[in-house]
Every structure is written in structure tokens, then in C-alpha cells.
Structure 1
């Protein structure tokens, strides 16, 4: 798979071996970053079903998933519930502080965390996580600080790309393929 990393592939894979939590921003990562408002003021968002399956596969492999977002939206709660994501932190402008709080609760450290974000509120979490990830639709100064920039844009397969690579690099991919090859998925 094509990807952009400031780390050599062996170093990247070594870091991935320690990942036990994937923390995701929402707007610009799980979505394309656009906000849609209906005439009554109701906000809507669009999420990728393929990203959703990737998240479910990660969770089945024992890698936890969290959402950390600066905005508050009932759609985020609905999406998290549909995917079985238990750790949802909304209205959090300081993403690193939110991530560290969650890690304390989970008895994990930053080295065990991959964090994906796309803008300035994500920068400190990207820089401090064990694996800092960004998307190609992020500003250049964010991408330059990430260990890995996905090939796919936010809302267009970036999360699935992350999930698939984490599963492959941690050795879970053959079991995933085997499960779905036999009609059990």
C-alpha cells in the first residue's frame, strides 16, 4: 500500500506493534470536514461505511478506538454507538489533554496510541502519540509533523486505510481474511 511516512518502514512497523488504541478526530478525518445544516438548523455529517467496518475489525482484533473532537454533535454519538466505540470525548479543544486523560483511565501510555487528526487542535496529540497520523487534506504544517500521512483523504477511506495497515502490520490480517473468506464475517 502506498503511504507517506517520515519514518523508515521498519521503524513505523515497530511503533505499530505497540498500538493498543486508535484515537480519531471527527471533522476532516472520519468525515470530509464539511458541515451540513438543514433549514431547521439541524447539523448532519457523512461517514464512510468502509471506515466503519475497519473500526469494527480493529476492535475485534483487540485494538480499542476512541473519538476526540472539538465540536459537539449527536451524530457523533450515534456513529460511535453504531460502531461500538465506548470512548467518545466531544467539545475537547485540547486534544492532547483529552487523550492523556483517557490513557490514564485505560492505564495506557502515549506509546501505545495512534492518533489521527487534521488541524491545529490535533497537532500536540499527533506529535506526542506513539504514532502520529494525519490525512492529505490537512494543512502542510500538520502533515509535516505526522509520522504517517494517509493516502486517502478524511471521509474518503483514510480511517479504513489506517485500520487495514494496523491490522496487517500487527499480524491480524490473515485472520481477518480467513473469517470473511468463509462467510463468517
Structure 2
């Protein structure tokens, strides 16, 4: 595995949280805001961790914050922003509404990254491109999709050499909820019941 100093980590937090009705990043799950869970998952494996978001609402977290290159263009704009500012070839991403992402999952993706531009987790035929490894080599193709108005990250990743990792097959000790994200009050209620 690459040494920590050669990997940058980014938390995607630029969404509007419209389905939740309030800023998801600050919702407390298991005693901490969801965005703190995301930062904590990245810190053990990344030399630097930053947030890609709009505004200054995350300044208190003590990590660099980068503004989306294209406002209102969704997570693809956040990924492009991060890849453009990154000084490392390998970059690990997660989003602020996935509080159960753990360093072991991210390490698993990193271990599979040799020879690929992107490594994206898959679970039960669903892909999770917002918690993934993207190399800087993705930037030209991703920017082209962004400028063409093709904003779906799931579709955009097909423009690069991508490897999908069936995470539960690769590491049966990972919990099935490791990639779960929380978008609505109902999903939050289900999490609180666990």
C-alpha cells in the first residue's frame, strides 16, 4: 500500500440537503456530526484531508475547504475541484452523509488501485461512486463531462479506466451499512433505531 503522505482525502459536502430539510453534515449520528465521521475515516490513511463545499460553514473543523469550481453542478463538480487542487496522484473521497465509512473500506479500495484511474465500491449490484479512489488522471475526462452537462458521477466514471470492488466479497468483516448514506429524516430514524 502507498504511504500515507502520497494520498489526499476529500469530503464532499456541497449538497443542499433538500430531502433532509437541514444540513446533513451537522446531524449527529452515534455521538458525532456525520461530517466528523467522514473526516475521521480519511485521517488514518491520508496525509491531508479537505472538504469540498460552498460557504464557510465548516471552518470550525480545522481542515482546508475548497469551493466547487462549478456551483450547483453536484458531486461531479466537487470531485473535479478536489482533483484540480490535489498535489497527489491518488485521492480518496467520501461524502458527508455516509457516517459508517471506515478506514478499512478505504484501504481496501486503495489496495486495488494499481493500474486503474478509479476504484469504486459496489455492494449488491449498487455502485457508490462518492466513496471512492480517483487518481488525478481522471480530471480531463471528468471536466469534459462536467462542461458538457453530463453530471451523473455513475455515468461519468465510465469515461476512465475504472475498477469496481465488491466490498463484502473482498472483506466479509465490513458491515453491510458501511456505504449507507443518510438523505432523509426517515433514513435517519432507521439509523437511530440500530
TM-score class, shorter-chain normalisation, is 0.3 to 0.5
Higher RCO, 1 vs 2 (CA within 8 Å, ≥6 residues apart)? 1
More helix by share: 1
TM-score by length of structure 1 reads 0.40
Give the TM-score taking structure 2 as reference length: 0.38
* Structure with the higher strand share, 1 or 2: 2
